Chains A and B, each alone.
Chain A
Amino acid sequence: MDKNLRKKIVAMITKAGEGHIPSSFSIVDIINTVFSGHLKFDSKNPEWEERDFFVLSKGHGGAALFVVLEKFGFITQQDLDSYGTFTGILGGHPDRTKVPGAEASTGSLGHGLSFSVGIALGHKIRKAANKVIVLVGDGECHEGTVWEAALVAQNLKLDNLCCIVDVNGSAAQILPHPNFPGQWQAFGWNVLETDGHDEAEISAALTRFENMRNGKPTVILAHTVKGKGVSFLETHGPWHHKIPNPQEYEAIMKELSE
């Protein structure tokens, strides 16, 4: 669990007064792990044709992507500092036309997997070995388009496609999937599970996907905690889109420094 990235997330969202801290905490370790050795990229040439693609479909966790993009040199601390401003490149959801390394403009749920199926199909048409990793939420999996795309991906045998699901259970409080792993299996996917905050375990799951290439797409169900890392944010619904006041900000930073 990366506390430093979490501090950056809280700082930028608090300064701007906009953003989703718990959702970003839920996925930041996953994104950090993806970029730490599992993605082929050139941060100084983000459009490099030989790159792998990472698509953040649950765009409201964009702050987690931004701090990782800054860590790996796609964007700068100055970009993070201008998060949420009219003239900055970063805001509440990623915009691929402005943010180097952001492959998709997302925000409305249920778009990223279909989009990623198209990219993965493009790699197959080019007979390129590149992979596509897309991160969706378990709540996002309420959207019917996720399952349309899941069905199509297996039919097209897109084994270069990995969908990581941020299983934080938040939306399951209103509409649970009775058998989530079984649902993906029934749609013809390889199903792996991991702790979504243990970077070694996430990395191992990604390596399994990379070595699998058995004609099926792979889903990694990453079990996470919404707000992970700060006790009073964890699993606490009202914090979903809440901005900390100065006292709360200090308390969050204190916990993240321990």
Chain B
Amino acid sequence: MRNTFVDTMLEVGLVDPKLVVLVGDISHFALQPFADACPGRFYNVGICEPTIIGMSAGLAAAGFYPVAHTIAPFIVERSFEQIKLDFCYQELGGTLITVGSAFDYSGLGCSHYCYDDFALMKALPETEVLYPAMPDEFRELFKQTYRNGKLTYIRLPGRKHGHEIPAGEIRLGKAVTVKGGKDLTIVAAGPHLRTALDSVPALAGRKLDAEIIYPHTVKPFDYQAVRESVARTKRFLVVEEHSQFGGVHDEVMRAVCELDGVAGAAINIPDKFCHGYGSYEEHCQHFGLTVDNIVAKALALCKSAS
């Protein structure tokens, strides 16, 4: 996904002289083609994330479309006040593109994990929060948002989900129904669309026909798509790499809260720091972001319905 990011900067930067990219000492080699093709519009500013955010807002005030990029916790958590005041309160637009969330830097510990980026970024008024996990999704959503005057947060995952959605069907704020079904609704975010899709055969073996909804846009959330699906299936399961507070699960709860006779569950990150290192897959295993756990949770939900 990082390659898609740098390719898109080059593609857009060549036709839009107002695009300026600022990074905090990451991805600078990868962005060299953009730097060469768009002289004076790429800055490896230094290791000073709050200032990168403040500068980016200043560039927006001067009429540019800034993109600030570095590791998620250093933008979202360290520089939160700059995002709030310099961008959002001042009604200036820009794009923040992060890597690392939630635990892609799986061996580095919690300084480099970021479980709460959706919660924090959603809480700021009039922001957009995107979670594309395929190249076309990033490319399309970036082009739809980067100059719309809003603060847009994009979490770039380290892994893709592998399911191609036609570019023409990727629209800001519109969830994608990847698979129809009648027994429960699985809302799977980011790379865990793949986990959800991989659980389909096992679910079918247990006579469960799952509908799978994929929200590449976390804010504005497609409440209607989720509500209509859960109104039919009466059961929902959310799968996401995010804290149990403030992520996609909260949005799904908001979507279904007025429906009668509905039950749901979530696989996400509990209210506890993870002190483990190891591989990405080990973290997924630890948090239950696995096919086996999706099947177990779905069975439990549907059993309770019968």
The answer to whether A and B belong to the same complex is yes
Q: Encode contact with A along B275-290: 1 for CB under 8 Å, 0 otherwise.
A: 0000000000000000
Interface size for chain B: under 10, 10 to 19, 20 to 34, or 35 or more residues? 20 to 34
Residue of A nearest to B47 (CB): A148
For the complex with contacts A96-B90, A151-B46, 16 further pairs of A-B residues with Cβ separation under 8 Å are A97-B91, A108-B85, A114-B51, A114-B54, A115-B55, A117-B55, A117-B58, A118-B54, A122-B58, A122-B62, A124-B40, A125-B40, A148-B50, A149-B51, A151-B48, A155-B46
| Contact residues, A100-144 vs B (CB, 8 A) | 103-108, 111, 113-126
Q: With contacts A108-B81, A125-B41 known, is A114 near B58, CB below 8 A?
A: yes
B contact residues around A123 at 8 Å (CB): 62
Report yes or no: A119 in contact with B62, Cβ–Cβ below 8 A: yes
Give the contacting residue for B82; candidates A49, A103, A114, A126; CB below 8 A: A114
Complex Cα–Cα for A149 and B154 (A): 25
Q: Is the interface of B mostly helix, strand, loop or mixed?
A: helix
Q: With contacts A122-B63, A125-B41 known, is A114 near B55, CB below 8 A?
A: yes
Complex Cα–Cα for A111 and B58 (A): 10
Q: With contacts A118-B59, A118-B62, A125-B64 known, is A145 near B90, CB below 8 A?
A: no
B contact residues around A156 at 8 Å (CB): 43
A contact residues around B165 at 8 Å (CB): none
A contact residues around B59 at 8 Å (CB): 118-119, 121-122
Residues of B within 8 A of A (CB): 20, 40-41, 43, 45-46, 48, 50-51, 53-64, 66, 81-82, 85-86, 89-91
Check A16 for interface membership: any CB of B closer than 8 A.
Answer: no
Give the contacting residue for B58; candidates A105, A115, A126; CB below 8 A: A115
Which 5 residue pairs of A and B lie closest in terms of their CB atoms, listed nearest first? A118-B58, A122-B62, A114-B54, A118-B55, A148-B48
CB proximity of B151 to chain A, nearest CB, Å: 14
Interchain residue pairs with CB less than 8 A apart (9): A97-B90, A111-B82, A114-B82, A114-B86, A121-B59, A121-B62, A122-B20, A122-B63, A152-B46
Complex Cα–Cα for A197 and B91 (A): 34
| Contact residues, A74-100 vs B (CB, 8 A) | 96-97
